[in-house]
A and B are shown apart, each in its own frame.
Chain A
Amino acid sequence: MSAFFGLGKTRTFKPRRDVPEGTKQYQLRKYAEATLGSGNLRKAVQLPEGEDLNEWLAVHVVDFFNHLNMLYGTITEFCTPNECPIMSAGPRYEYLWEDGVKYKRPTKLPAPEYVDALMNWAQGLLDNEEIFPNKIGVPFPKTFKDTIRTLFRRLFRVYAHLYSNHFDHICALGIEAHMNTSYRHFFLFINEFELVEKKELAPLDELNSAILAEDRAR
């Protein structure tokens, strides 16, 4: 079980201060300050004037899918059927998998199998050119927004599982700053476009409140 929930107070986000000059991370922080001003990702998620909303949603869901592939890939040795017999986000939330094809009813799966099914399902959608057209000029289908909402809702569950069940491993591997940045970006994005219902976000409520509070303070 994660140390994440052992802390009573609300945690805020903060750029790491002790990154040595000359490192790439230091350069990135300077670059972020120069391009975003104080590192505010809220501006980064906003739809540019004149841009097609569906295109903006599409490029970001692909990015977050890739982020999660990367993050989850680092802890596959620790997310095993033995240690994660159900797909959970802490002790109070459990997810069952249903895709309407292979799993026609909500099915209890160990976390690694759930994540694998979810990511394969998502990959199938992202690769489907009738839903995510690659060719220039081909429009998105009318149902695209619904597809996007389902994708984001399910991708959230992987973040929730990582934070709730593998935060110690993530910290020990030195990638918590990267996961925090990615999740903050993800959350600001879904908040901006109201893509996931608040009740679905309950497992990470504290984190989400902290992100919004911090945002208002900038």
Chain B
Amino acid sequence: MHTARADTTKANDNISPRHRKLLASPEVQRKATVAQLYFLDYYFQHLGYISARKERRAKFDEDTEVRGLTHSEHQREWKSYCGRERVVLRRRRAKLRVEQFHIITQVGQGGYGEVYLARKQETGEVCALKRMKKKTLQKMDEIRHVLVERDILTATRTPWLVRLLYAFQDNLYVYLAMEYVPGGDFRTFLNNTGIMHEKYSLFYATEMFVAVNELHKLGYIHRDLKPENFLLDGIGHVKLTDFGLATGALNPQRIESLRIKLDKAKDNKIVQRSTMERRSLFKTMQRQNPQWADSIVGSPDYMAPEVLRGKPYTYAVDYWSLGCILFELLAGFPPFTGQSPEETWTNLQKWPEVLNRPVYDGDDAEYNMSDEAWSLITKLITHAEVRYKSLDDLKTHSWVEGVHWEELREYEAPYVPELYADTDTRYFDDFSSEDDMAKYQEVRDKQKNVDEVEEVDKPTGRGVWVGFTFGKSGPNAKALGAMGAPDENGALATIF
């Protein structure tokens, strides 16, 4: 996220070239932006508190006067009123701690931590509490990933992106408490669905495009979109969560690792498979392979070629991923997934030859995609220069011709989750079930490996986690408007 801000010419004259370069770095820019938002939020809240307190006092005075109390009655009520105000003030000071949340059950497990369904004791609010080890994040060079995720969640309030309720930390962990989206993630939904009728695919695909566009409007590129990143809310609409690699720079080691794997596949031969065979293999792998639960390694199946090759990229990389997801909605399997990682890398290396229109025979023929759908896929899964890169590009296509974009969330979803309570977790894995737990064994094995990685030499400075904590507060701006130049008469500027 880049907030426009004018440099102070006079100040720049005194700043060394090294510092000027540092000032322009994404990390420093991020902290400055977070600081600006922090102070604006703080003073909104603080002035709000003062104003609300005045109103409460005025109401107390008015109420007690109307009732014509005796002096001793008034004293008793005054004492009671002051006691309540003192409680409000003390609560303001209380730090968010994990003990304030009642853990109901575990609903997710990722490479960097767990996700729990939890209820905040004080408010009864239900949330998805994501807990991540600071050490793991530091070892895997993913601190920035978490900071950016927190920034994105803080910066926006849109029904298309999962909302942040709280962010806090203790010595060992950082926590993100997000709105609980009870319908489960889209990967689970797809696993429980066969091939989807095209009209239903249209519903989900358009919602995904709009959700990703919300992220793009904030200035972020996701770069690692896959079905797991989308959730279904209580009435079956789509929300985007887990903002992945939406950050200034990929971990260079990871880029290199992806590129090496791609290069190794250069001389491999493509395995020819029928559509039915590919779908069948994919379904079998889904049942046997826990790969999708693992966010440390990550799956390259939906990644754009320029990301895999470590090349410069644009918003178009996310449209490639959305094209792969659309392909999967319509065909029942992703376009490049092979029976083994090696086969997958070969398919990605030679994607122009591998990408074929899926055709089913016999009973499944009714699910074959239309010409328009295939046409759209070929405009999404294509070379970066000619690929769709915006929602406006998409809207020109005939497949989405009849879509009323402003009313998407008013449509009735093809499938509405059945929920019996606001803490219903039926659409998530059961972490006390051995079958469900088998999926996560690989994640645990990798976590063990991470734990054995050498401690990072340098201690984490104070600056790294500054600004992480975020309480429930009033409305957040998407970004600050452009800051003007300092007043010419030399006065020190204040924000109000």
Contact = CB atoms under 8 A, between A and B. Distances in A.
B50 A51 contact: no
Interface stretch (A72-80, A85-93, A94-102): A72-80
A177 B494 contact: yes
B486 A32 contact: no
Contact of A1 (B14, B94, B490, B495): B14
Interface of B: 3, 5-8, 10-12, 14-15, 19-20, 22-23, 25, 27-29, 31-32, 34-36, 38-40, 42-44, 46-48, 50-51, 53, 57, 78, 81-82, 85-87, 89-90, 92-95, 461-463, 466-467, 476-477, 480-487, 490-496
Shortest Cβ-Cβ A-B pairs, 3 listed: A73-B466, A18-B484, A23-B481
Interface string A107-145: 000001001100100000001000011101000000000
Nearest to A43: B50
B493 A15 contact: yes
B15 A169 contact: yes
Contacts of A48: 53, 57, 85
| From A29, A76, A112, A172, residue with most partner B Cβ within 10 Å | A172
Contacts of B486: 171, 176
Interface stretch (A6-14, A148-156, A192-200): A6-14
Contact of A50 (B5, B28, B78): B78
Contact of B32 (A3, A133, A173, A182): A173
Contacts of B85: 48, 50-51
A16 B6 CA distance: 14
B490 A7 contact: yes
Contacts, number: 219
15 contacts: A7-B490, A11-B492, A13-B491, A14-B493, A16-B495, A23-B481, A24-B476, A25-B40, A29-B495, A48-B85, A71-B35, A73-B467, A134-B93, A172-B12, A174-B32
Contacts of B463: 72-74, 76-77
Given A62-B93, A171-B486, A173-B23, A73 B47 contact: no
A176 B462 contact: no
Contacts of A202: none
A71 B92 CA distance: 21
A109 B237 CA distance: 56
A70 interface: yes
Contacts of A35: 47-48, 50-51
A2 B48 CA distance: 35
Given A31-B47, A44-B50, A13 B40 contact: no
Contacts of A178: 35-36, 39-40, 495
Given A70-B39, A174-B36, 19 more contacts: A11-B491, A11-B492, A16-B493, A17-B484, A23-B480, A24-B476, A25-B496, A28-B47, A33-B496, A50-B85, A51-B85, A55-B86, A59-B89, A69-B467, A169-B19, A176-B493, A178-B40, A180-B494, A181-B496
